[in-house]
Amino acid sequence: MEQFRIRKGMPYPLGATVRNHGTNFSMVNASKEECGVILYQKETKEAVRIPFEEKHRIGNISCFYIDGLKTEQYDYNFYIGEQEIVDIYARRVLGNETWGSGSTTELSLRSGFYESHFDWKKDKRLHIPYSESVFYCMHVRSFTKHASSKVKHKGTFEGIIEKIPYLKELGITAIELLPCYEFEEFDSGEDKTTMAYQVAHYTDLPSKSDEPKKMNYWGFKEAYYFAPKASLAAGNDPCESFKKMVLELHQNGIEVIMQFYFPKKIKQGYILEVIKHWVMEYHIDGIHIKGEQIPITLLATEPLFANLKIMCRDFSLSDIYYDNEKPPAYKNLGYYREEFMHDTRCFLKGDADMLRGVQYHLKNQNPDCGIVNYITNYDGFTMADLVSYDRKHNEANGENNVDGTEYNYSWNCGVEGPTRKKHVMQLRKKQIRNAFMLLFTAQGTPLLLAGDEFGNSQQGNNNCYCQDNEMSWLDWSLLKKNREQFQFVKELIQFRKEHPVLHKEEMLTMTDRFGFGYPDLSYHGKEAWKAELANYNRHLAMLYCGKYGKKKDKTDDDFIYLAYNMYWEAIDFALPTLPADYEWICAIDTQQESIEKYFTTKVTVAQRSVMVLLGKKKKNRRRSNR
């Protein structure tokens, strides 16, 4: 083992930083026990311990600089007393390169040195506003692991790159990734990170459990937050793999949003450092942050994050910006709420007293933050299962079906699970189209669960957190089988993009504030200009005045009339009068059986259906009016 030349180090950044032909080591130790660095020669068990001396300590940080350290020959860990610790600031974590390796052997993880030489090729973040965004939520492994994905590098960052043409065809603008930083899928024996987290970033010790170990497929647990997950990379360098994915997606107009989960015990300063690292090192465009004690004010007001999408379940703008302080010009905060999912699901299956909630959600937006809407997500039913199961079926999880939420607000359309009954299958397909209509015609940013566009199913399991198999993996063979559904979603996304009044940046006032003769938004029913919101009704119509939105060619948008009928009988809607040279044209009908294309005074919307009419200038042609 070579002799090491040790010099005075710097306390920040924490961890191991390669610079100026040497390496700076810095760690937190709040105890009085000896601490230091363990250096391992690569591919051997030979190691040397180098203790921090008292002169190397500043507060609770110990640091020194090793001059001339040949990092390509070593891995490292820290130690406190007899406790060996993986560096929680490590840019790479070694020993978990094979997915699920902890299921058979106790992992022995090492921290890896990392010095970036990646060529970003003038990469620029896209800064797509919430109002222009369409999110697509996926698990990196599940997205392409199935044999039907036909990609070369299945279940990896590279697999996502191979699917970029598909993502572009679909029309999404951002992918949202479940945790893809380094974590152990199985808890293997004694937790070697406990001491490090406790003294540096936790307020209490993690609890111990004697329960049998089970795979944590989703990764919502304590983790090594600075390192990309090695088993999700096809090559030997997960850092480069992740960067290549981000670069390729950016070059194709697609943003990258990462989910982060932080348990209550992790301190807020550490969370800030984690996010800074991913923004600076990996050029991510947004975060969806989960956990307790989330430092949302700290994140929202960090100057570095002014153009970063920061989404979480709840926050109070008045608590973040006060005394006339304004949010950034670019909306960085985004509400990621469940209320849209609950209310639209209940409305979809025909529950009473849902109109006021749905009315609110369809127009809900905020001038100071984004609103993210979804009907399905990874932690619940897929869209196909939402219309196929009344109850969850989580038996495969081995927990007697007690895990997962009981509140699915789903409807099986008459038969539980798979069926060959034609009328049930037809109704399910229409209900799926109705759900997509509710999602993509709402003002907020739509989030689509990966695979929903072609009918992916999880066999009624609404909590696949431990399922690394075909239950969780996307079955791409369904894309051919359900091509019509994919085409419907693709065209609906395009329809939304082409009509700016469906995704306004500013608030809708429901007034004619510019003297156009129509308010920006109005509600209708069996009578024009009159919403019928009684608790027993299940129908609602909305009219957007196209003059309040400009298309890309600078022309006015069309008048857009949206008629939602979740009642089990057809409903006649009265149409508001258009300007003299305009007419109503049917653009979308989820019943897909409409004979009429043009309408004048009323439109009949079939049972459990949604119709969209466009008010356009008349053209010279012979036709019959209704």
Q: Are 216 and 185 in contact (CB under 8 A)?
A: yes
Q: Tokens at residue 178, please? A: 């479940």
Q: Note the pLDDT tens digit of each residue in 122-141.
A: 999 999 999 999 999 999 99
**Percent of the chain at pLDDT exceeding 70:** 93
Assess whether pLDDT exceeds 90 at residue 211. Answer: no
CB 606 within 8 A of CB 579: no
Give the per-residue pLDDT at 200.
41
| Average pLDDT over every residue of 163-171 | 98
User: How far is the CA of 244 from the CAs of 127, 162, 235, 254, in angstroms?
Assistant: 19, 12, 11, 13
Q: What single-letter amino acid sits at 503?
A: H
- What's the CATH architecture for 133-183+219-333? Alpha-Beta Barrel (3.20)
Cα–Cα distances in angstroms (integers) from residue 39 to residues 44, 195, 307, in the given order: 11, 19, 39
Sign of CA dihedral 420, 424, 430, 435: negative
Residue 17's beta-bridge partner residues? 24
- pLDDT at position 328 is 85
Strand-pair partners of 9: none
Q: pLDDT value at position 2?
A: 61
Which CATH entry fits the domain spanning 5-112: 3.40.50.300, 2.60.40.10, 3.40.1350.10, 2.60.40.3080? Answer: 2.60.40.10
What pLDDT does 452 receive? 98
Partnered with residue 38 across adjacent β-strands are 49, 77
pLDDT of residue 625: 46
Which phi and psi angles does 288 have, rounded to 5°?
A: -115, 105
Helices (H), 63-170: 140-144, 157-162, 164-170
State how far the Cα of 390 lies from the Cα of 345, in Å rounded to an integer.
12
Domain boundaries, the chain: 5-112, 133-183+219-333, 337-441+450-461+469-498, 506-617
Q: What is the pLDDT of residue 204?
A: 42
The residue among 373, 367, 335 whose CA lies nearest residue 134 is 373
- Do residues 407 and 474 touch, judged by C-beta distance below 8 A? no
pLDDT at 199 over 60: no
- Whether residue 288 contacts residue 259, with contact meaning beta carbons closer than 8 Å, is answered with yes
Q: How many CB atoms lie within 10 A of CB 595?
A: 6
Q: How confident is the model at residue 205 (pLDDT cuts 50, 70, 90)?
A: very low
Rounded CA-CA distance 62/85 in Å is 14
Tokens found for residue 109 = 């993880």
561 touches 585 (CB < 8 A): no
Query: pLDDT (tens digit, 9 = 90+) per residue, 470-524?
Result: 999 999 999 999 999 999 999 999 999 999 999 999 899 999 999 999 999 999 9
**Tokens 């050029």, residue located:** 283
Question: What pLDDT is recorded for position 387?
Answer: 98
pLDDT at 618: 86
User: Quick check: 563 and 577 in contact, CB under 8 A?
Assistant: no
Would you state the pLDDT for residue 116?
A: 85
pLDDT number for residue 197 = 38
Mean pLDDT throughout 112-116?
Answer: 92
Contact 255, 249 (CB under 8 A): yes
Per-residue confidence (pLDDT) for residue 576, from 0 to 100: 96
pLDDT computed for residue 333 by the predictor: 97
User: Is-contact 507 492, C-beta < 8 A?
Assistant: no
DSSP sequence for 199-264: HHT-SSPPPP--SPP---SS--SS-EEEEE-GGG-SSS-HHHHHHHHHHHHHHTT-EEEEEEEE-T
**Under 8 Å between Cβ of 269 and 291:** no
Neighbours of 57 (CB within 10 A): 15
| Rounded Cα gap, residues 387 and 457, in angstroms | 11
Q: Give me the mean pLDDT over the 160-188 stretch.
A: 94
Q: Looking up tokens 């002169």, which residue turns up?
A: 55
pLDDT score at 190: 41
427: left (phi over 0), alpha (psi -120 to 50) or beta: alpha
Q: Which amino acid is at 199?
A: V
Q: Is residue 595 predicted with pLDDT exceeding 70? A: no
Res. 620 pLDDT band, cuts 50 70 90: low
Q: Pick the residue with more confidence: 68 or 207?
A: 68
> Which residues, 6 or more positions from 437, have their beta carbon under 8 angstroms from its beta carbon?
492, 564, 588, 590, 610, 612
What pLDDT score was predicted for residue 182? 97
In the chain, the percentage of residues whose pLDDT exceeds 90 is: 85
pLDDT one-digit tens code per residue, 339-389: 999 999 999 999 999 999 999 999 999 999 999 999 999 999 999 999 999
pLDDT tens-place string over residues 388-439: 999 999 999 999 999 999 999 999 999 999 999 999 999 999 999 999 999 9
Helix, strand or coil for residue 88?
Answer: coil
Q: What are phi and psi of 38, to 5 degrees?
A: -105, 125
Q: Quick: pLDDT tens for 427-483.
A: 999 999 999 999 999 999 999 999 999 999 999 999 999 999 999 999 999 999 999
pLDDT beyond 80 at 335: yes
Q: Hey, do 133-183+219-333 and 506-617 end up sharing a CATH topology, with the first three levels equal?
A: no
Tell me the mean pLDDT in the region 542-565. Answer: 95
Q: Give the CB-side neighbour count of residue 143, counting CA atoms within 13 A.
A: 27
pLDDT at 325: 79
User: 506-617 belongs to which homologous superfamily?
Assistant: Golgi alpha-mannosidase II (2.60.40.1180)
Q: What is the phi-psi region of residue 424: left when phi exceeds 0, alpha when psi lies from -120 to 50, beta otherwise? A: alpha
Q: What is the chain's mean pLDDT, rounded?
A: 92
**Each residue's pLDDT tens digit, 228-247:** 999 999 999 999 999 999 99
Q: Cα torsion at 370, 372, 378, 384 (round to 10°)? A: -160
**pTM for the predicted model, two decimal places:** 0.93
